[in-house]
Amino acid sequence: MSRSADLDRVAANVLDFIERHTDAPLEPDPDVDAEFDRLARDVFAFQYEASDLYRSFCDRRGLPPEKLTHWTEIPAVPTAAFKTLTLACGPAEKTFLTSGTTRGRETRGRHHVPRLEIYRRSALAHFRRMVLPDGVRPVMVGLLGGPDLLPDSSLAQMAEWIRTDVCEGAGEYLITEEAFDPAAAARRVAELATSGSSLLLIGVRVAFTTLLEFLRAEERTIELPPDSRIVDTGGPKGGRALSDAGFLSACWHRLGVAGYYCVNEYGMTELCSQYYDDVLVERFSGTNRKRRKVGPAWLRTRVADPVNLAPLADGKTGLLCHVDLANALSVLAVQTEDLGVKEGRRFLLEGRTPGAEPRGCALALQDLLAGPR
C-alpha cells in the first residue's frame, strides 16, 4: 500500500471511530476501551513507518510497534519538540502556531495538520456534548480574536467552526486589531442580551477577567438570557486572570450565569481534541460531583512521573500525557508539563510544573533532537 493510501486508510478509520463513539460513555467501557487500544496501536504503527524522526525516537526508547501491548506504552513526544521539529505524516493542510507568550514568540510551537476535517469533527462533536447537552443553539460571542485576526490559531479556528456550524452562523468576535475594549464589549453584550436568544460567551480567561472587572468597577450587571453558557478556554498568559473561584463568582454576580453553566475547556495547539469540565453533563444527568476534565472516547490521558516518565496510578499527581486519535496524521501521543491527577477517564488539573523543564521531558526531547539514526 502506498503512503498516500495508508494515510487515507488511517484518516478514514479515525473519522469512523469519532462518528460511532461521539456519545460513548464518559466512564471506562470495556468494549470502547478495547477498540480504542487496537486503533491507537494501529495509528502508532503507521506513524512509526511514516516519520523517520519519530521512528528513530521510538527505537532509542526500545519501543517499536511489535513490542507494544497497550496504548499506554506509546512513546510520547514532549510539547517542546513542536517548537523546532516537523512532526507530521503528510503535507499539512493547515499549520497552527502556539501563542508563544511564555517563552517568546520566536519559539512558537507548530502543529502541522494534514487533514483539517479530523480536527473539525473531533472539536465540534465533543463541544456539543459537553457544552450544549440540552440542544440549545445560542448566539456566539467571542472574547477572543477571530480567524481573520488570528489565522494561525487553533482556538480561533475552533471558535469559527462553533460559530458557523453549532450556532448556525450567529455570532461575532469582540477582540479586534485595536485590542480588547471592555466598555465596548459590555455595551455589545448588553445589546445582544436584550434579543432573548441564549448567548454563548467563549474566550480566554484574561479577556473575561478584563470584562468582569470593568463591570465590577462600574457597578454594573448584565443579565444574560436563560440557558446562556460561558466557555473559558484558559488561553494566553500576559494579563491579570481571576482564579477559578473568583471567575465563577464574578460570572454569577455580573452576568447572571450560574456556575454550572460555566465550562472550562482544556486544550492545546498540539492536540486536535479537547477536554471540558464535566459540570454541565453531570447536572443534566442528575449528579453533582467535583469538577473534573473529561475528553471524548478518542482522547485518553495517562499520568507520568516527572523524572523518568514512568506511568503513575490513579490518584497520584504527575505529568499529563495525552493520546489523541485525532492526531493520527501528526503525532499521536503528546507529553505535557501540566500536572494532574487521573480518576478513570477523568482528571483534575493542578497547573504547570514550576521552574525548569521536567527531567523526563528533557530526556525525551534530547532523544528526538538526536535525529534519525
pLDDT by residue for the chain (373 residues), tens digit each?
567 789 999 999 999 999 999 999 999 999 999 999 999 999 999 999 999 999 999 999 999 999 999 999 999 999 999 999 999 999 999 999 998 654 445 578 999 999 999 999 999 999 999 999 999 999 999 999 999 999 999 999 999 999 999 999 999 999 988 789 999 999 999 999 999 899 999 999 999 999 999 999 999 999 999 999 999 998 665 678 899 999 999 999 999 999 999 999 999 999 999 999 999 999 988 787 789 999 999 999 999 999 999 999 999 999 999 999 999 999 999 999 999 999 999 999 998 887 657 877 877 878 777 767 6
Angle (nearest 5°) at CA 209 between 135 and 259: 40
The residues pairing with 141 across neighbouring beta strands, listed in sequence order, are 172, 201
- Whether 276 and 102 have beta carbons less than 8 Å apart is answered as no
Q: Which of 57, 102, 116, 109 is nearest to 333 (CA)?
A: 57
Q: Which residues, 6+ apart, have CB-to-CB distance to 95 below 8 Å? A: 110, 111, 112, 113, 152
- Whether 153 and 235 have beta carbons less than 8 Å apart is answered as no
pLDDT at 27: 94
3-class state of residue 85 by DSSP: coil
Tally Cβ neighbours within 10 Å of residue 217: 9
3-class state of residue 219 by DSSP: coil
Torsion 15-49-80-150 (CA) sign: negative
Residue type at position 79: T
pLDDT at 101: 52
Map out the domains of the chain as residue ranges: 3-91+298-369, 118-294
Q: Which of 369, 370, 295 is nearest to 327 (CA)?
A: 295
- Whether 304 and 285 have beta carbons less than 8 Å apart is answered as no
DSSP letter assigned to residue 202:
E
For the domain made up of 118-294, the CATH class stated in words is alpha beta
Cα(24)–Cα(281) distance, integer angstroms? 13
pLDDT at 287: 80
Helices marked H in 21-107 — which ranges? 30-50, 52-60
pLDDT at 99: 80
User: What CATH topology corresponds to 3-91+298-369?
Assistant: Luciferase; domain 3 (2.30.38)
Tally Cβ neighbours within 10 Å of residue 262: 24
Torsion 111-114-116-119 (CA) sign: negative
Cα(233)–Cα(155) distance, integer angstroms? 8
Cα(325)–Cα(32) distance, integer angstroms? 13
Residue carrying the nine cell digits 473531533: 122
pLDDT at 102: 47
Q: Which of 147, 151, 178, 176 is nearest to 163 (CA)?
A: 147
Torsion 247-252-254-256 (CA) sign: positive
Cα(142)–Cα(144) distance, integer angstroms? 5
Cα(33)–Cα(29) distance, integer angstroms? 6
Would 3-91+298-369 and 118-294 be classified into the same CATH topology?
Answer: no
